[in-house]
Amino acid sequence: MALLAEALLESADDQDSVEYFGARLHKEAHRMADMINELISLSKLQGAEALPDMEPISVDDVVNEAISRVQLSADNANIRLTSGRSSGKFVNGDHSLLVTAVANLISNAINYSPDSTPVTITQKITGENTVQIRVTDRGIGIAPDDQARVFERFFRVDKARSRTTGGTGLGLAIVKHVAANHGGEIKLWSRLGTGSTFTLELPLYTPNSGVPHAPELAPELPTARHGRVLQRGERNKAQ
């Protein structure tokens, strides 16, 4: 940002250069603000043994609000966001954090998908006590060696693409900690050239139930189970 500001000052008499460097400086300022806000959120999540103000949260509302939050980005990339049937289920949690986690997953799918491809958000109830929120893209996919690192802070699968989209490299790390603080987990299936499915798994709300304390998370170590290959029927549902 300092270099861009210096270039801007030195180009005061060149209107085209002023507009070019000014736009880049503006973009970098917003990216830095996003990074600071996400680092603050991540720091709070890592230090919390349990979240305050837990209450029954509609899974449908979380998914709908998350989609609404990233709709403009999807429209700009001509990416169609589709959601599955409503579940009518509730989880015990923090509404804002859950929306942020799901929005981060959808935003990640948009950023790593070719233009004009779909991103799908579905819900599935497993057993009697768990809801899965799945975000599936048909993007570039993630190599097996990288799947074990995608939930690390600042790790990026495609650095060039991340610079273009202005990502901070913190979105999936935040998802990991939100899941853990809600007694859930985040899972990943991916194949190069096919796409990826991120599954946020959360315990369902039942009256008088609580959420377990978040497990102790070692720094930079993902809690997800990586590289799991879906069976044909399960893959079709995810896609």
Highest-confidence segment of 18-32, 43-57, 182-196, 225-239: 182-196
Superfamily (CATH H level) for 54-238: Histidine kinase-like ATPase, C-terminal domain (3.30.565.10)
pLDDT of residue 34: 60
Q: Which amino acid is at 63?
A: V
More confident residue, 46 or 75: 75
At residue 145, does pLDDT exceed 90? no
Q: What predicted TM-score, i.e. pTM, was given to this entire model?
A: 0.68
- Domain coordinates in residue numbering, the chain: 1-47, 54-238
pLDDT band at 82 (very low <50, low <70, confident <90, very high): very high
More confident residue, 205 or 166: 205
Distance CA 45, CA 68 (A): 24
